[in-house]
Structure formats: structure tokens, C-alpha cells
Amino acid sequence: MRLKTFHAETLAGALELVRQTLGSHAIIVATHEDDASRGARVTAAIDPDEQNFDFFSDGASEETLEYLTSALEQHGVPNPLIDRLIEAATDGTDNSPHQALAGALARVFTFAALPQRPGDAPIMLIGPLGVGKTVSCAKIAARAALAGDFDINLVAADPVRVTAIDQLRAYADRLDATFYEAPDAESLGSILTHIKRKEMVVIDTPGTNPYNMKDLAHLVELAEAGKPLTVLVLTAGRDAQEAADLAEAFRPVGPTILLTTGLDMAKRLGSVLSAADAAGISLTDVSMAPEIGAGLTPLDPALLARLLLPNEAKETVDVRDKGVRAS
């Protein structure tokens, strides 16, 4: 038999979707109705030899798919995204929960590493207030300092928060990096024209309310002036739909990757998936601890699957060596 999961607002609605999609010969394998207004789901099966359904394939077992569905629901992942991940797990050949989820994540999302050396563009971090952009700038710069012999520049493009400017200046002093202030797009453009191409540039920006058009316009102007690799920074543990709305609201600035902070304080990671999915951007490094020395941990499908299934995986993330080790 081959399995498919259907979501709807009510159990009756999910059963009707089964009937419409699979017909009257479908076998109901499992039903679940959530008390937390997440609707209902029905897992159904049919013999593919009797009906030609392209979405059925050999892949994860019924038990694995049910386990993954339950785990993703506990993380607050939106139902439509759960459906896509389960479909992707069904398309794979791995049957263990961790391997099946890692394969599904690799099919649904893209992953991109943050540059550790000077590239064609500066790196600019954007996001709402309090997500850890300034600390993340310092972590990126610290990692770059260990990666090679080149100059590093930290730019505070924040015309509002004096404390953030002072904090970034202090980080620059500790890292032996050059510090600049760029209160507006014109000054940022001028600074960048005087920095050599083979130097690392990391730009911090003000905590921004993306629903305030004036604030958002300031970020757009900075992006146009700097032509950077724009990184959206969000904290883990948010409501998944709220994170998706935030990520979509920042799209006019042009972020291409999502850096997630605060994983040490979050038990539910649905916001990470929903934000990247809503904005159509790649997942990149994550911050597992607030200390600069803890650095950033490169994120890939295998590690993300471990974080989503902590009871399943036998590995833990070691923030000291930013890798994965057996526990």
C-alpha cells in the first residue's frame, strides 16, 4: 500500500478530500483531530496496482510518516508545509525518521553557507529589533578573522541606536577590524567605494519594523547603495505564521538567506521553516548560544532534522566546535 496524508479544518473535510482524491476504495489508516485549532488530518492508503496515482512511491513507512507528521505538528509547522515535507519523505528511499526527514528537507528547502572570506559583495544583516543582528555581525567577522589573512570591516548603518553603534565599535576593536558609521545610504555607498575589493565587509542595520514603510524604505535604500548579500535574521521560537509574515514583509529589501538565532532558547522550530518557505530564501547558519566565542553553526538538512527530532537522533550539537558529535 501507498500512503498520503490529508489536512482540513474538520475531520469530515479531511475525509471528503480522501474520497475526492483516492476514491471510495481508499483505506483510512489513521485520523487525528487537534484541540488547538490546527484542524484535522487523515492518513489514507490505496493499492497503487489498482489505481495509477503518481504521488505514491516507495519511501518511508507508514509509522515513520505518522511520526514525522506528529513531530512537525509539535514544532508548529503549518499544515500545508507539513504536507509538502511528508510528500517529499514519501518520495525518498530512507525509512529511518531522521534520514527520511533530512531527505525531505533537502528536497523542499535550499541551504546556503555564509561566506567566510571576502566575496563579490558585502554582507548586510537585516531584521526586527532584538534578534541578535549586531552579535551575529561580530560572529561572522570573528569566523572570517580565523579563516584567512585579510582585512575585515564592520559598518554600523544604524542612525538611531547609539548603544548598537557602540557595541559594534567595541567588537571591531576586539577583532582588530576597521569600524565605520553609515547613517544613510549615501554615506554607506561612499564608504564601500573606498574599501578594497579583497576585504571582508559586514554591515549592521537598525532593528526594523517591516510594516512601517518609512523604516523599510531606509533598508531598501541601504541595499540599493551597498548591493550586498542580504541576510534576514530572525529568532527561533516565534509563532510560525508570525515569522512567515515577517519574512514576507522584508522581501522588498531582497534577502536571499535566513540566519536563525536563539536556538538555545527555543523548543519549537516551526518558525524557521515557515519563514524560509514564505520568503523563498535559503537556510544558512544558526546561532546556538549568545556568546561571540560560540560562533555560528552551519545548517544542513541532516543537522536540521536532528534539531527537529531531538529524541530520535543520537547526536547533539556542540557549539564549541560548531559541529555534530555523538552524545
Instruction: Kindly state whether residues 128 and 267 are assigned to the same domain.
Output: yes
Q: What is the mean pLDDT of residues 97-118?
A: 93
> Is residue 47, in this structure, part of any structural domain at all?
yes
Cell numbers representing residue 172 in the block = 571591531
Q: What is the mean pLDDT of residues 193-208?
A: 92
Task: Please tell me the distance from the alpha carbon of residue 300 to that of residue 279, in angstroms, as a whole number.
Answer: 18
Cell numbers representing residue 231 in the block = 541576510
Beta bridge partners of 152: 200
Instruction: Kindly state whether residues 199 and 283 are assigned to the same domain.
Output: yes
Instruction: Kindly state whether residues 131 and 279 are assigned to the same domain.
Output: yes
| Long-range CB contact pairs, 14-23, < 8 A, 24+ | 14/39, 14/40, 14/41, 14/42, 15/42, 17/42, 18/42, 18/44, 22/46, 22/51, 22/53, 23/51
Give the largest CA-CA distance in the chain.
70
Instruction: Kindly state whether residues 36 and 165 are assigned to the same domain.
Output: no
> Is residue 294, in this structure, part of any structural domain at all?
yes
* Residue at grid coordinates 519594523: 209
Instruction: Kindly state whether residues 38 and 131 are assigned to the same domain.
Output: no
Instruction: Kindly state whether residues 13 and 160 are assigned to the same domain.
Output: no
CATH number for position 151: 3.40.50.300
Please name the residues in contact with 91: beta carbons below 8 A apart, sequence gap of 6 or more. Answer: 57, 59, 107
> Is residue 229, in this structure, part of any structural domain at all?
yes
Instruction: Kindly state whether residues 151 and 286 are assigned to the same domain.
Output: yes
Beta bridge partners of 33: 40
> Is residue 116, in this structure, part of any structural domain at all?
no
Instruction: Kindly state whether residues 263 and 179 are assigned to the same domain.
Output: yes
Instruction: Kindly state whether residues 134 and 273 are assigned to the same domain.
Output: yes
Tens digits of per-residue pLDDT, 64-106? 888 999 999 999 999 999 999 998 888 766 668 999 999 999 9
> Is residue 77, in this structure, part of any structural domain at all?
no
Pairing of strands 2-8, 40-46: antiparallel
**pLDDT bracket for residue 183 (50, 70, 90):** very high
Instruction: Kindly state whether residues 46 and 189 are assigned to the same domain.
Output: no
Supply the pLDDT for residue 58.
53
Domain range enclosing 179? 123-299
Q: Is 90 exceeded by the pLDDT of residue 196?
A: no
- Taking all residues of the chain, what is their mean pLDDT, rounded to a whole number? 86
Least confident piece of the model among 12-16, 82-86, 275-279: 12-16
Instruction: Kindly state whether residues 143 and 283 are assigned to the same domain.
Output: yes
Higher pLDDT: 318 or 302? It is 302
Higher pLDDT: 15 or 191? It is 191
Instruction: Kindly state whether residues 190 and 294 are assigned to the same domain.
Output: yes
> Is residue 104, in this structure, part of any structural domain at all?
no
Number of domains in the chain: 2
Higher pLDDT: 312 or 187? It is 187
Determine the Cα angle at 310 with ends 234 and 233, to 5°. 10
Supply the pLDDT for residue 315.
42
> Is residue 318, in this structure, part of any structural domain at all?
no
> Is residue 317, in this structure, part of any structural domain at all?
no
Please name the residues in contact with 288: beta carbons below 8 A apart, sequence gap of 6 or more. Answer: 263, 264, 294, 297, 317, 319
Cell numbers representing residue 206 in the block = 537598525
Q: Is 70 exceeded by the pLDDT of residue 318?
A: no
